[in-house]
Amino acid sequence: MSEQTEITAAQNWENLLRQLIADYPNRSSTEWKRDFSSLEDFLNSVRSQRSKWAELMKLPAGLPATAKQIEISKADQCQRKITFTFCHEMKFSAWYQPPVQKESQPRFPLVICLHGIGGSPQSTMGTDQRLDASYHRFASRLTENGFAVVAPQLINNFAERARINRMALLLGSTIWALELQAIRTLLDICLEALPIDPEQIAAWGISMGGGYTLYLMPLEMRIRAGVISAWFNHRVSKMVIESTDYSCFLPTEEEHAFIPGLLTQFSDSDLISLICPRPVQVQSGRLDDIASHRLVEQEFRAASFCYQKLGIKKRLEWNLHNGGHELDFEAGLRFLRSWL
Which pLDDT score is estimated for 133?
A: 86
DSSP state of 250: T
Q: pLDDT per residue over 23-76, tens digit each?
A: 999 999 999 999 999 999 999 999 999 999 999 999 998 887 788 889 998 877
Packed helices 47-56 and 268-275: angle between N→C axes, nearest 10 degrees: 120
pLDDT at 76: 78
The pLDDT of residue 90 is above 90: no
Instruction: Work out the pLDDT band at 131, boundaries 50, 70, 90.
Output: confident
CA neighbor of 329 nearest in space, from 244, 230, 194: 230
Query: Mean pLDDT over all residues of the chain?
Result: 95
Instruction: Please give the model's pTM, rounded to 2 decimal places.
Output: 0.95
- Predicted pLDDT of residue 279: 99
Domains belonging to the chain, first-starting first, are: 1-31 (no CATH), 35-339 (3.40.50.1820)
Distance CA 153, CA 182 (A): 10
Q: Kindly report the length of the chain.
A: 340
Per-residue pLDDT, averaged over 8-15, amounts to 91
Residue 180: what residue type?
L
Helix axes 175-193, 208-216, angle to 10 degrees: 70
Q: Would you say residue 140 has pLDDT above 80?
A: yes
Model pLDDT, residue 6: 63
d(Cα 164, Cα 175) in Å, to the nearest integer? 6
Sign of the Cα pseudo-torsion (330, 334, 337, 340, in order): negative
Distance CA 326, CA 287 (A): 10
CB of 281 closer than 8 Å to CB of 331 = yes
What is residue 103's predicted lDDT score, i.e. its pLDDT?
63
Which of 61, 62, 86 lies closest to 186, judged by CA?
86
Query: What pLDDT, on a 0 to 100 scale, did the predictor assign at position 299?
Result: 98
Going from the C-alpha of 101 to that of each of 77, 105, 127, the distances in angstroms are: 14, 10, 20
Q: What count of other Cβ atoms lies within 10 Å of the Cβ of residue 274?
A: 22
Tell me the per-residue pLDDT of 186-231, one tens digit each, with 9 for 90 and over: 999 999 999 999 999 999 999 999 999 999 999 999 999 999 999 9
Pick the more confident residue, 5 or 163: 163
pLDDT score at 1: 45
